[in-house]
Amino acid sequence: MKNPFLKLTTVGLASLFFASCETNLTPDQQEIKPKPNSERAAAVAVNGVMMQGFYWDVPKTTPSGTWWQNLSAKATELQTAGITAVWIPPAYKGGSVDDVGYGVYDRYDLGEFNQKGTVATRYGTIGQLQSAITALHNKNIQVYEDMVMNHLTWADYTENRNNENIYTGFSYTGRNNTYSAYKWNATLFSGYQRGNGTWNQWQPWDFTSYNNGDGYDNLLGCEIKYNNGVGNNSAGTETINWGNWITTKLGLDGYRLDATKHIYTPYVNQWLDAVKLNGRFAVGEAWFNNIQWLQDYAAATGGRMSLFDVPLHYKFVDMSNGNGAWDMRGLAFAGFTEVNGPLSVSFVDNHDTDAPSGGLRSPVVNLKMLAYAYILTRDKGYPCVFYRDYYEYGLGTQIKKLIEIRKANGYGSGFEYTSVNDADVYVYSRAGDATHKGMLVMLNDGGAASTKGVTTPFKSKTLTDKTGNRTGTVTTNASGFGNFPVNSRSYSVWVPN
């Protein structure tokens, strides 16, 4: 999430109020409680494909009911499509029923208590949420929750900081201490963002100023301070306890951590060590459009979580903006996915890049299926499909076919054809293994069809374009060489018969 004040227009920025903490912890909240080893494990599936199961302004009502009911109704078709995990939106109470979840008010209210004028969240009630997760689990689809740990908003009462009365106190009277008696107040925050975007800051920021201040570009509400250690009554202990609580409550298989570069990095590591147990997956949103910066952050977090491949997204944006004029040779060895595949989550678009406004708005509009063909056939990275692309932008049938090809043929080492590529056509292959045949991928952003002579790993084989974009076959010689066509502004995945 970035520049949320530009996006939270549906909830009324003029009334954004923010929060903090009292110090009356109950004894069972005064220490971190790891999850027992008997809980559901969630190792990423082989050739797995994640779906971001929402977008910025999803409707509160769908033909199936609430958004949770919509996801529940789609569980079977998601399984059939080859989706192995779904990333769901922040499930906890924001400032109103319109809040998309990033304006967090009460992290223990999953649509259960009458607070901020509503019982349900934008996405539905706790019962509907649990039913949706059960439906997905019944189809062997993992569930990753969006964990917003950077800030709280919409506080209940004011406190005085720097001679200004600001909203930094949370009482949660509607929940009445159910699940947790912990309260937040100004002592647990570093600063408060006013509705006009300016800050009242009374403690130093505790996060690292990455890359010449890049860490300061996205703050919201009451910025939680995590560098005071883990112990009784600390924000760190409380957030770990909450992480373990919501994991158990919802049976989570993993997490997407929001705005991680704005959280004290040693605490991010501590939280992951205490909560991400039993093989659970985690991916962090560290929005760096620079491969080395992502590498540096991966090192700082000790490889504890994956990271979204932001630089690769912007490669696709350049391809889209070029709309046929961009040099496709730029896709060779591209992105964080290439240099750190085991920790990379590749994506084409997400809720921020597709949002109606905001600092991260950067949609891939043109040639989007070429981008999907790239991430879904790669030998590296964990690809994430965007719900809106699949269901609302008309790409579902093509994405489903690519996932099918990935599951059947996405094996073996990858090979770049830098001597074959040109400004219009990019070529890549997977060698296959003892039981899978591999594939040859061709992406063409040009205005004319093209044929490329390629020496493939497939010797004396007849190949078919499994996407159906090209008819006919290509037969290779004893060296694996063949002439492979690809349509204009299209893609092909040639597979040995």
Q: Express each pLDDT in 337-365 by its tens digit.
A: 999 999 999 999 999 999 999 889 999 99
Quote the DSSP letter at residue 422. -
Range of the domain at 459: 414-496
Which of 377, 409, 441 terminates a domain? The answer is: 409
Q: In this structure, what CATH number is given to the domain that contains residue 448?
A: 2.60.40.1180
Do 8 and 93 have their domain in common?
yes
Which of 393, 409, 425 terminates a domain? The answer is: 409
Do 468 and 338 have their domain in common?
no
Whole-number average pLDDT of the chain: 90
Catalytic sites, residue numbers: 258, 285
84-107 as b/e: b if 16+ CB within 10 A:
bbbbbbbbbbbbbbbbbbbbbbbb
Distances (CA, A) of 339 to 243, 260, 306, 317: 31, 21, 13, 20
Q: In this structure, what CATH number is given to the domain that contains residue 360?
A: 3.20.20.80
Does residue 8 have a pLDDT over 90? no
* Residue that has been written with the tokens 């991260």 in this structure: 360
Does residue 213 have a pLDDT over 50? yes
Q: If you write DSSP's letter for every residue of 452-479 in order, what string do you get?
A: EEEE-S-TT-EEEETTSSS-SEEE--TT
Do 401 and 448 have their domain in common?
no
Do 404 and 476 have their domain in common?
no
Do 340 and 437 have their domain in common?
no
What's the total number of domains in the chain? Answer: 2
Do 186 and 64 have their domain in common?
yes
* Type and span of the H or E element at 490: strand 490-496
Do 491 and 464 have their domain in common?
yes
Do 209 and 300 have their domain in common?
yes
Do 464 and 332 have their domain in common?
no
CB-based contact 375:381 (threshold 8 Å)? yes
Percentage of the chain modeled with pLDDT above 70:
90
Do 323 and 460 have their domain in common?
no
Q: Express each pLDDT in 23-47 by its tens digit.
A: 333 323 333 343 333 334 457 999 9
Do 401 and 470 have their domain in common?
no
Q: Express each pLDDT in 96-129 by its tens digit.
A: 999 999 999 999 999 999 999 999 999 999 999 9
Residue 389: phi and psi, rounded to 5, are -65, -45
Residue 156: phi and psi, rounded to 5, are -95, -25
CA separation for the pair 361, 175 (Å, rounded): 36
